Structure 1
Amino acid sequence: MEDRRSFTFWLLAALFSLFLLFLYGPTLTILVLSFQGPEGGLTFPMQGASLHWYRVLWEGVGVVDIWSAFRRSVALGLVVMVLTTAIALAAGYAFRRRFPGQGALFQLSIASLIVPSIVVSLGIALEFRLLDDTVKALGEAYDIAWINEGYTTAMGLFSSGLGAHLTWTLPFGLLIMFAVFNRFPAALEEAGRDLGGSPWQVFRHVVLPLIGPSLVGVALFGFTLSWDEIARTSQAIGDRNTLPLELQGLTTTVTTPEIYALGTLTTGVSVLVIGTAFAAIALWRRVRR
């Protein structure tokens, strides 16, 4: 009998196609419009095709130092990635054994996922303002010269900004590692100990090779979530913006396709990171074999 697709199949296929168009259409539109000619605008039809706006972006957009913001975002993303991976791995390993307060600690660890991002950002900013007031009060009380003369704020990229990003990336890393260790075969560790392996040797030669691809996934989450974070960063970053904040600010002042070139560049970095993660997972599995 001839196998024909039902009407329901084609209806669902059409709905899925519309979903993909809605999901990736804006990104593809920005990509296409970023290659407009020098006379191009922010909408279709295109006025020629060139790399003009990428050249303008390379030279700098107005008074904003895009490349400094780019470097800050990359540096912060790498630090967040390393800390998220290390803390999630340690926590996942620790939660394999029950201890008092385990449930409450787990709930607290993921609570920031359900709190509005802007509230988290405002809370962190308030904490650092209280810290600044305390430090300045101590400087005045004890006549500490370096505080009275040069201290401004403890807020910054790798203090309040780092903390704000970790409240977003850590819960995802923890949930991934909890799921991984929940399915981990404990018999393999017992076999390693029976063969005379120390706890470190068992972890290095048995546990780590098996959970390696998952660690790459946690690292991917850590970097990409930090790379495009705006809401949690907005109030807690200090006086130096990350690239997403600069991009958000440029949307109100830049009226040429160079803003599309910048958006394409940031998306390209995310795609590059994802591709690198998949390559690392494939390499890890090949080394294991």
Structure 2
Amino acid sequence: MEERRGLGFWLLALFFALFVLFLYGPTLTILVLSFQGVDGGLTFPLQGVSTHWYQTLWKGVGVVDIWAAFRRSVKLGLVVMLLTTLISLSAGYAFRRRFPGQGLLFHLTIASLIVPSIVVSLGIALEFRLIDDAVKAYAEAHSVGWLADYATAMGLFTSGLGAHLTWTLPFGLLIMFAVFNRFPAQLEEAARDLGASPWQVFRHVVLPLIAPSLVGVALFGFTLSWDEIARSSQAIGDLNTLPLELQGLTTTVTTPEIYALGTLTTGVSVLVIGLSFAAIALWRRLRLRSAA
């Protein structure tokens, strides 16, 4: 016979429902308000339903080139995703064997999760300013002509990339450490006994087993970079990413255009997550088909 659920179950269920509403309520609210009518404002009730604000967004919001910022964020996110995946995989593979300074390197890497993001951003900005001052001083002292127009080394793929990697790499490393701690070393030993080279062991044994985890690392890399504001605020250079432009628009745009833009950025994150799950499912299907 089925046991009747007591009061405690329903209280916990209610608490969980409220928690989910707290998490996703703001996102759903922005989604709904982005479809305000032409005369709609930033609050409820809706003044009609239309895609007017998405059409306005497509034309551009004020003096800000939203689509240029969008492209910059996508490019930076893809580079961060690639580097995070490669470095995390390499580090996870290297940490399987002990080496001098292993513990110190691990704690230094994870420490960037503890340091406040704005402090990391300011530190990177200060570092690049010191580099700029040194380059300019060298150019003046030695009359280096080709450095006459030098402005700064800060930029999207220098200081900005470094700032984002201080956020994404610790997550990638922790995932790979957990994966390799549970990895069955007997499979590698069996492959080596059968005459496989180290590269063949990695390609045909290790990589297929950890591929879903690598997709997760890539997902972390892109989505964390895509949404990052604090670490980008001081270290990104002259060109803003989309989250920084979105933050700036919150003080100047007083129409539901801002909601349409917020829905678009959230939709990109959801799309990346969906593609990641699809990639994992496709990988598993191909493995089962090849095994059969």
Q: Same fold (TM over 0.5)?
A: yes
Shift of 1:264: 0.2
> Alignment identity in percent?
83
Give the match for residue 166 of structure 2.
167
Cα distance in 2, alignment partners of residues 3 and 199 from structure 1: 55
Cα distance in 1, alignment partners of residues 139 and 201 from structure 2: 51
Give the match for residue 61 of structure 2.
61
Give the match for residue 86 of structure 1.
86
SS of corresponding position for 2:75: helix
**Correspondence list, 1:188-199, <5 A:** 188-199=187-198
> What TM-score do you get using the length of structure 1 for normalisation?
0.99
SS of corresponding position for 1:113: coil
Cα distance in 2, alignment partners of residues 177 and 2 from structure 1: 42
**Partner deviation per Cα, 1:38-83 (whole Å, 9 max, x = no partner):** 1000000000000000000000000000000000000000000000
Give the match for residue 120 of structure 2.
120
Give the match for residue 232 of structure 2.
233
Shift of 1:286: 1.1
Distance 1:2 1:277, change over 3 A: closer
Give the match for residue 203 of structure 2.
204
Shift of 1:2: 5.6
Q: Is 1:42 aligned to 2:42, yes or no?
A: yes
Shift of 1:136: 0.1
Give the match for residue 129 of structure 1.
129
Give the match for residue 212 of structure 2.
213
**Partner deviation per Cα, 1:73-96 (whole Å, 9 max, x = no partner):** 000000000000000000000000
Cα distance in 2, alignment partners of residues 174 and 222 from structure 1: 11
**Partner deviation per Cα, 1:266-288 (whole Å, 9 max, x = no partner):** 00000000000000111111111
Gaps of 5+ in 1: none
Shift of 1:147: 1.4
Give the match for residue 7 of structure 1.
7
Give the match for residue 144 of structure 2.
144
**Partner deviation per Cα, 1:215-235 (whole Å, 9 max, x = no partner):** 000000000000000000000
How many aligned positions are there?
288
Letter in 2 for 1:22: F
**Partner deviation per Cα, 1:187-232 (whole Å, 9 max, x = no partner):** 1001111111110011000000000000000000000000000000
SS of corresponding position for 2:152: coil
Give the match for residue 287 of structure 1.
286
Shift of 1:146: 2.0
Cα distance in 2, alignment partners of residues 2 and 68 from structure 1: 59
Give the match for residue 258 of structure 1.
257
SS of corresponding position for 2:106: helix
Cα distance in 1, alignment partners of residues 104 and 179 from structure 2: 21
- Off by >4 Å, runs of 4+ in structure 1: none
Cα distance in 1, alignment partners of residues 225 and 270 from structure 2: 14
> What TM-score do you get using the length of structure 2 for normalisation?
0.98
Letter in 1 for 2:208: P
Cα distance in 2, alignment partners of residues 252 and 18 from structure 1: 30
Letter in 2 for 1:24: Y
Q: Is 1:276 aligned to 2:291, yes or no?
A: no
Cα distance in 2, alignment partners of residues 283 and 107 from structure 1: 36
Gaps of 5+ in 2: none
